[in-house]
Amino acid sequence: MAGEIPYKIYLDEKDIPASWYNMRADMKNKPAPLLNPGTGQPMTAAELSGVFCDELVKQELNETDAYIAIPQDIRDFYKMYRPSPLVRAYCLEKKLDTPAKIYYKFEGNNTSGSHKLNSAIAQAYYAKKQGLKGVTTETGAGQWGTALSMACAYFDLDCKVFMVKVSYEQKPFRREVMRTYGASVTPSPSETTEVGRKILAAHPGTTGSLGCAISEAVEVATHNEGYRYVLGSVLNQVLLHQSVIGLEAKAALDKYGVKPDMIIGCAGGGSNLGGLIAPFMGEKLRGEADYRIIAVEPASCPSFTRGKYAYDFCDTGMICPLAKMYTLGSDFIPAPNHAGGLRFHGMSTTLSQLYHDGFMEARTVKQTDVFEAAEYFARIEGILPAPESSHAICAAIDEAKKCKETGEEKTILFGLTGTGYFDLVAYEKYNNGEMDDYIPTDAELAESIAKLPRI
């Protein structure tokens, strides 16, 4: 069914993928295993299942099955907001006066406002299936916490969210959405956990960090009968669930016989990028097709481009397993003026291996350039993008401009992961000319990387 390409390509409900695609099955060099920080040995399923749901542990460790069927209950939930639109950015192309053809997969058309819901509903489903009472998690900016709250409301699961204190105070609306979906939201560090009390005693008045919130969430999950911990990025299971993004994008392009030349995604922990590129990377791994795949990260938190490929802790509390990844060191915290999200010090182990093996490239963009691209895009395409997504927009616009210079008619696909409705404090800063860029010095990075665990 080729023909004139509409502004929005919608697939039918029946085109929602029946299976997730697991890139690891097609990788010759598998990602390095998670290690037990105590023993230095690979984490076993038994060890992981104290923290994570059983079925999710299986998915985490599954390196052989390329396709894993999506349970019907999850597909039914997906029907409420999927297939998500693949948009042909006609207005942007016209404004840029570029011969490039630009497409974006828009994942912001659901109340959580981002792609995070794709994995949240899967994780909530498996928790429910296991007969659990509830799940715990941490959230920073709040996209993941919101998505998980929605998913738990749907399956009638208790949802305990530890929200980094500074975000809890600065983003009351995010907190309120989660409460509206029935979640309990605790500012972290809190007096409700041992680790929280310890941190508060050592650092009274601290505004918290993602690492601390993770530690509290894990403690509550492991100390309470019927609870497990869930996570919105980095893990293999999350990339697996997020593969619906790429599978749908590819199906929509295939419908019109379009093959992208390059695929661009923002990268923090890798949940969106890993999902968007999945089926394309699969073709590349199997030698069936070639694509340029570009990860875009903030200049203020440049894991791929300036990090070290090594084993590191996923959290600052150092209670989580060790993962081999491109990392800036679990001690690294992006500058406080960084408002663009994607603040994680490390990166998905799967994406790290793929990058290490040369299957993708990476670049950084500066914060002010990101917001300039965001505002430009909002005015032309009518969608106010999340700062995270705007990293990909920024790179896509750069590539489209290059096409204008060279006259090449490249086809660009990028991931628009979410909307910026809850990021208006950052937009205000930009509108008022108060936003600046901070790029860590080599010395700073060397210092935090020097503290990597010796494995």
Min. distance of Cβ 160 from a copy of itself in angstroms? 16
Contacts of 334 (CB under 8 A, 6+ apart): 298, 300, 301, 343, 438, 440
Residue recorded with tokens 């060790």: 322
Nearer to a copy of itself, 101 or 308 (CB): 101
Q: What is the C-alpha separation between 127 and 135, in angstroms, rounded?
A: 7
Taking each helix axis from N to C end, the angle separating 236-255 and 54-61, rounded to the nearest 10 degrees, works out to 70
CB of 375 to a copy of itself, least distance (A): 6
Least distance (Å) between residue 431 CB and a copy of itself = 5
- Tokens standing for residue 223: 């100390």
Q: Strand runs (DSSP E) across 353-439, as ranges?
A: 361-365, 411-416
- Residue closer to a copy of itself by CB (options 9, 403) is 9
Amino acid at 449: I
Shortest spacing between CB 187 and a copy of itself, in angstroms: 15
Helix axes 117-129, 54-61, angle to 10 degrees: 130
Shortest approach of a copy of itself to residue 182 CB, angstroms? 7
**Based on CB atoms, which residue is closest to a copy of itself, 320 or 384?**
384
Nearer to a copy of itself, 85 or 269 (CB): 85
Q: Could you give the CA distance from residue 103 to residue 161 in angstroms, rounded to a whole number? A: 35
CB of 111 to a copy of itself, least distance (A): 5
Q: How far is the CB of 378 from a copy of itself (least distance, A)?
A: 6
Please say whether the beta carbons of 352 and 309 come within 8 A: yes
Nearer to a copy of itself, 362 or 383 (CB): 383
Q: How far apart are CA 331 and CA 30, in angstroms?
A: 27
CA 400 to chain centre: 24
> CB of 139: closest distance to a copy of itself in angstroms?
16
Beta bridge partners of 385: 419
Residue 153 or 333 having the CB closest to a copy of itself? 153
Where is 266: in which H helix or E strand? strand 262-266
Shortest spacing between CB 102 and a copy of itself, in angstroms? 14
The answer to whether 400 and 103 have CB atoms below 8 angstroms apart is no
Which residue lies nearer to a copy of itself by CB, 10 or 254?
Answer: 10
The residues that touch a copy of itself, with contacts defined as CB under 8 A, are 6-8, 10, 12-13, 77, 79-81, 87, 91, 109-111, 113, 150, 153-154, 172-173, 176-177, 179-182, 375, 378-384, 419, 421-422, 424-425, 427-428, 431
- DSSP 8-state assignment for residue 156: T
CB within 8 A of 411, min separation 6: which ones? Answer: 100, 101, 103, 258, 259, 260, 261, 262
- Which of 145, 346 has the CB closer to a copy of itself? 145
Report in angstroms how near the CB of residue 262 gets to a copy of itself at its nearest.
23
Nearer to a copy of itself, 108 or 307 (CB): 108
Give the pairing of strands 184-188 and 101-106. unpaired
The CA distances from residue 444 to 19, 112, 357, 373, 403, in Å, are: 43, 35, 27, 28, 36
Cβ proximity to a copy of itself, 95 vs 366, nearer residue:
95
